[in-house]
Structure 1
Amino acid sequence: MPAMHYTLRWPDASETVCYSPSLVIQDYFQPGQAYALESFMAQLREATAIANERVRAKFGFACSRADDQLSRLEAQARRWAGQPGARVEVLGFGPAH
């Protein structure tokens, strides 16, 4: 199963390199595109659930690394929850090492 990394830029201009066990993230986001924070997180939850189901179908269990990644991103996103105009930019995709 092809895994990937993707890089995000948060409202404070900090960047986070993230992991996905599936390429499904590319179906939800475009490099160079900024998304409203709440919308981004909703799409990310959905994409992560699909990625986990793909892992479960292949290996018989969900990807704990993807779950941990989502938890960290949820915590980070809470910093800007309720902030008008808060956006997350997807900077790019790359192969997982």
Structure 2
Amino acid sequence: MGLLDTMRAKLGPAKSKVSDLAQRHEGKVHHGLEKAAHAVDKRTKGKYSDKIQSGTGKAKGAVDRLAHKGGKGPDTGGTTPPPNVGGSTPPAGPPPAS
């Protein structure tokens, strides 16, 4: 058994526990992310608003993937990108035809 296999075996129970907590407290986590993003945006006087929105969207997407893994919600399977909250990432799929 390699190092990676050992780490996966030890982190398996923690992953399911984190997933359960993310599912039960998803709304609170989203609210906390919004509150933190607003505080940072205010302190930086809007200078990094686009970066903050992008990071917040990615964090919310990660929480959503954690919360809905295991068949209790929509099956994301890691193939669906996080929601485009900040508008800074291009849409998924092939580029438009000319």
TM-score (norm 2): 0.42
Q: Compare relative contact order (CA 8 Å, sep 6+) and give the higher one, 1 or 2.
A: 1
Which structure features the higher share of helix residues? 2
Which structure features the higher share of strand residues? 1
